[in-house]
Structure 1
Amino acid sequence: MQKTTAVGLAALIATYFLGGMSARHEIFPWPQLSALRKMVGGEKPAAPSRYTFDDKERLIGDESKTLVNCPTQTDRTAVLLILGQSNAANDGGQRHRSDYGARVVNAFDKRCYIAASPLLGSTDTKGEYWTLLANNLIASGQYDSVILAPLAYSGSEVARWATGGDINPVLVDTVKELRDSGYRITSVLWVQGEKDLVIGTTAEAYQERFMSMVDTLRQDGVEAPVYISIASKCLEPSNGGFKEHIPDNAIVRAQLALSKSGHGIREGVNSDELLDGEDRYDDCHIGGTGAEKVSRAWMNLLRGDVYLESSR
């Protein structure tokens, strides 16, 4: 009896470890048993959501959006192409919506929606400050309408935007969609750099890859100034960053050099210097007070911007 019990226990232990190894390494019989379970029980249905994403997790649908006719562009219309990583995407700590109805729109896929966080075209579903910027631009009296065309990917390094990168073709498509909608981009706003600091991109490599992206824009007929933010600060490992920030770093040096290089490139908002610890809700991403600061800084830049077709 004891021998039978011992043999049974040994077999049970062996089966347990075999199952564990099979599941861990995806070897027989785990994949087959897993597939059989799905066939019999079916996949657990995903919880319903108002949001739709593409294969790169970019927000491409939101049931709460209000579809409107796209405003006609005049000389008092700002058309802003917004590019970069999480601090240009829907990762803000405060949501905003148009204070002016269909005078501030989110242009996406040749359609226009009354602007409201989160914006279609970028990753994630939190807040953003571009809608606040648009409200401020109209309130200033400088513009009658603002078209927001965001294309921002959380955690994206500059290489992905350069020729050969996976985002570059999406950039080309976005520019074409705006052109087909009758829009001429008036300013390109670039907010990116934190990821490249973490992965150790050199200043030379950053400049080369950024210029490759700018060349893509120019080849596709975008003559608008490209504003490059001074952005490299994203702290804490939970955000993929460092514990402390060194202001004088390779990415900042590259961004400053690019802003003085001509080619229609201008210095954008220096969020590294502008924002305090209280302005970032998680030591990286921009919260409510930070949104007020950066939107005001962008407004001051764009209000004084006289559109130039050639490099200054």
Structure 2
Amino acid sequence: MPKCTLCLINEADKTGSHVVPHFLMKTIDNADHVKGRDKELGFKITEDFVTPYFGRDVSTNKLDEVFGELTEEDITASRSDIIADYIYCTSCEKKFSSLESAYAPTLNIDGSEVYQSTKSSLTAFLFWTSIVWRLSAYGKLGFKLAQNEENRLRVTLDKLLIAEVIDERDTATKAMFEDIRYVILRAPGYADKNETATYYHSKHRFPYCLLLGEYALFYYMKSSHVKSPQQSFFGLEKLLNRAPLNSIRNAEKIYPVTDEQMKSTWDSFVDFVNATRIKSLFRTLDELHIKLGGNGKHMHPKDKYDILNEIMAEGKDLGRTFTFEDIKQSTFKVLNKNHGITSKQ
């Protein structure tokens, strides 16, 4: 059994660990925004494919609506990548659980102006730091810190997380991490009424940028990074010069954004995802065109757009669209119609 990725000492014996805390994820991917565990229903979207997942307690009617008829293979394979086995030990899992329980009540606090989420600067700092570190250390969700930064945050969490209580006692250790800053933007209640997602920018580092439902996190590994040129992040970067900077020393302040601002952000995000995926699809079709012995290096644009329209055709089950099998079937359906090419070729 592997060692726990946090303490590096104990065996990683825990299963079903949430890399992003469940109380955040349930506002993002729980079916119809219902409460409870094992209710998740969502899609992992990469440049190449869409992979759906669902929890064991999602209603049969909802699954039928999204996926149509499910096979045993579908059921066995369906699990959110944010849920992982054998990465933490029991002791460290309890530390994360204690931290999450301490921070969770902040979801019930909001305001139309900048507001204080909690008096415990350490709790807030460790909570967001734990998410940044867990995403990076897990390594399967498209987000990665520089290795020295990941190691630094691991040491931070290992030293400061206490399973029973999180307090302000360890001032010497805290002083080691005073250079880290972060900004939280939030559209309170937005995820209760709208579809959202999680997104971790793979290239932005000054700061690292994350979208988590109705939250946006900007995480600066050094206070000097605050002066770095702005990186575009679906329009939210324009609010950074207004939002309070948080640290391990100050009570966390959150900058509220309106539903209209957050909707604009998510609209920009959807446009970005669509453009990225279409570009990737067309690149894949060019590769297939060459393998099939087509003339030139590129598939004819008409074939590409016919395939795209077939993938997006009405009447398809939402949960099947843009999966590998759907792309394969749509491609050969169009190529057979336009050129008499079949999958056997």
Query: Is the helix fraction higher in 1 or 2?
Result: 2
**Rg (Cα) greater in structure:** 1
- If asked which structure has higher relative contact order (CA below 8 Å, sep 6+), I would say 2
Q: Same fold (TM over 0.5)?
A: no
Name the TM-score, length of structure 2 as normaliser: 0.23
